Amino acid sequence: MDIKLIQAQIENDLAAVTSLQALEEVRIKYLGRKGLLAELTGSISGLALEQRGAFGKEVNVLKNKLLSLIEEKGKFLKKSGSVEKKENLDVGLPGIAQELGGLHPITQVINEICAIFTRMGFSVVQGPEIETEYNNFTGLNIPLEHPSRDAFDTFYLKNYPKLLLRSHTSPVQVRAMKAHQPPLAIVVPGRVYRPDAVDASHLFMFHQVEGFLVDENVKFSDLKGILELFAKSVFGQDIKMRFRPHFFPFTEPSAEVDISCIICKGSGCSVCGRKGWLEILGAGLIHPDVFKQVGYDSKKYTGFAFGMGIERIAMLKYGINDIRLFFENDLRFLKQF
């Protein structure tokens, strides 16, 4: 008799079993006193001496296998209440609905911001999170001695001295300008990395949206107009904006941009540190040295650039006081968006 065939037959029989009673019938068919296994064992004495050992072993293995399969099936049937209780099926019970997933709040804010800019004619472009030192710093006119190049402020790749985890989305300016000629209007959402100690307002990874536009005759007032439209779309029509002089190596002039505090409307509260203003982004006119790096004629073209932290915008928009909430995967938090 072919042991393999018998095993296949057993597995077939077991697969068809849907009740403890049927399982017992299968058990008797194979393991009962007159069952197939008993028959096989009985046939051993009729074999040639040298065949007995091997055959006996095979029969034993089959028996053990069968015992464990039956036990497993028995457990399964008991657990699932077996189909014997079919009569108790309540067809009036409400079904089990499939829960719908949702977009992460950071993704939602990124989509909202990108939609505002695409309505104004910007294209959405992405860049790699592993960048070259050149694109992240040199191409952006950030000098070798600049503190942001320090290993305390940037993650370098251990065995690749010229590669790093981008510390901002600005390197995509260099990539896009090298790949395309003006006019250019681009927004770049994406992750950035900085070795900051984690607390309520810092993580080692966060998201930015970069924006830049290059053409003939682009003026600072174009930047102001576009950013005002952006801020009002995100935070409401009554929001006020102000530009404070600042410094970035890749823009000149540069500014930090504040909106009037959305909590106290400018009168001063704990969220804005009694200042009445909240910083939301950095911006400026693209530095002629950046144009030189990418091979643009800085006599012919001007442009502006800005960059904002998405977690910060989302925290302000929704009144969230701890950045870590975004990445703890706590559904009680995430389901609110």
Q: Which residues bind ligand PHE (CB under 6 A)?
A: 168, 170, 210, 248, 251, 282-284, 305-307
**Coil vs helix vs strand at 279:** strand
Closer residue to ligand PHE (CB): 208 or 260: 208
Nearer to ligand PHE, 254 or 260 (CB): 254
Residue 262 C-beta: closest distance to ligand PHE, Å: 21
Closest contact distance (angstroms) between CB of 212 and ligand PHE is: 7
* Direct distance between the N- and C-terminal alpha carbons of the chain, in angstroms, rounded to an integer: 65
Query: Measured from the CB atom, is 7 or 148 closer to ligand PHE?
Result: 148
* Cβ nearer to ligand PHE, comparing 62 with 281: 281
Least distance to ligand PHE from the beta carbon of 223, Å? Answer: 10
Measured in degrees and rounded to the nearest 5, phi and psi for residue 141 equal: 65, 25
Nearest to 314 by CA among 330, 296, 334: 334
CA distance to 69, 109, 197, 204, per residue, from 200 (Å): 54, 19, 10, 12
Q: How far is the CB of 192 from ligand PHE (least distance, A)?
A: 7
| Of 133 and 210, CB closest to ligand PHE | 210
Shortest distance (Å) from residue 307 CB to ligand PHE: 3
Task: Tell me the closest approach of the beta carbon of residue 280 to ligand PHE, in angstroms.
Answer: 11
The number of helices, as runs of H, and strands, as runs of E, in the chain is 11, 10
Q: Are 120 and 304 in contact (CB under 8 A)?
A: no
CB 205 within 8 A of CB 191: yes
Q: Measured between alpha carbons, how far is 322 from 337 in angstroms, rounded to an integer?
A: 16
Task: Name which of 10 and 283 has its Cβ closer to ligand PHE.
Answer: 283
Task: Output the CA torsion 26→31→34→37 (10° steps).
Answer: 110
